[in-house]
Amino acid sequence: METSLPVAERPRRPEWMKVRAPSADGRYFDVKKLIHGASLNTVCEEARCPNIAECWGKGTATFQILGDTCTRACRYCYVHSGKPEREPDPLEPLRLAQAAAQMGLHHVVVTSVDRDDVPDRGAGHFAATIRALKAKLPACSVEVLTPDFLGVEEQALATVIGARPEVFNHNIETVRRLHRRMRGSKASYEGALWLLQRAKEIADYPVLTKSGIIVGLGETNDEVVETMRDLRAHGVDVVTIGQYLQPSSKHAEIDRWVHPDEFRWLREQGEALGFGSVFAGPLVRSSYRADEQKHAADTGRGAVAY
């Protein structure tokens, strides 16, 4: 039986985890108004991303399609879980593409909730969104961060990759030992690796594959390196590593605060393994400065300075 740490024993948030609040400077409120006006969701808001002030202030955001209700309930994630009340909105891809054009984006990141209730798990909606973006913004690169498409993986991958996103991202999230405990019985560590490898195998163009790891859930740094090794063995080009932040008292507790020096060490280990881009730092999230991550992988720069 799990027990919670007494409040006095819980690790306190260190100074390096402090983030600035939104201000009137930059484009933060313009982005917020545009997104809400178009009835779009962003993972920035849904997952309480700590970088929302920075990213929206620069006029960027990560779009979340297929609604705001996830059919999974991972122990670290703040996105609302339950039974979705609505079918996917067929006009959402067009609204999203229009918003991206108004924001002047050159690299668009699209993610989603899990939709185990939809026959194709949302793959067709991803493809429609990619096509809408490419029609509206021909010079724009598109990055998708997908769920695992449980039960229809091969067909779903063919659908999504068929729309030709430049970056295919599926987050492995945590190390092998903690995977089932944190993600539940539907998710699979080996399945995540297979999905990433298979995406590259079926693509008839040089798609970049990418995955993210959360630290602070009870793993060791050596286990993180082992997970990076597994990702590289399955052809993954880009990896991100960031600190877990407990969204509420109902979620998994923070096991440790990983020091910036440890993140630098992990970044060095990732570079040594041969990733095209390694982005590791306390506030790093999978889509944080995603355009820079892609550029680093495309140009062979390796690690992105954090």
pLDDT per residue, tens digit, the chain (306 aa), is 344 444 445 568 898 887 766 665 678 888 899 999 999 999 888 777 888 888 888 888 899 999 999 999 999 998 989 999 899 999 999 999 999 999 999 999 999 999 999 999 999 999 999 999 999 999 999 999 999 999 999 999 999 999 999 999 999 999 999 999 999 999 999 999 999 999 999 999 999 999 999 999 999 999 999 999 999 999 999 999 999 999 899 999 999 999 999 999 999 999 999 999 999 999 999 988 888 899 889 887 655 555
Annotated binding-site residue? 287: yes
**Residue 140 marked in a binding site:** no
Range of the domain at 239: 24-303
Evaluate whether residue 16 is within a structural domain.
Answer: no
CATH number at residue 204: 3.20.20.70
70 marked ligand binding residue:
yes
Q: How many domains does the chain have?
A: 1
**CB-based contacts of 209: which residues, under 8 Å, 6+ apart?**
167, 168, 169, 170, 196, 197, 199, 200, 235, 236, 237, 238
Q: Is residue 9 part of a domain?
A: no
263-280: b or e for each residue (b if 16 or more CB lie within 10 Å)? bebbbebbeebebbbbbb
Note whether residue 7 is domain-resident.
Answer: no
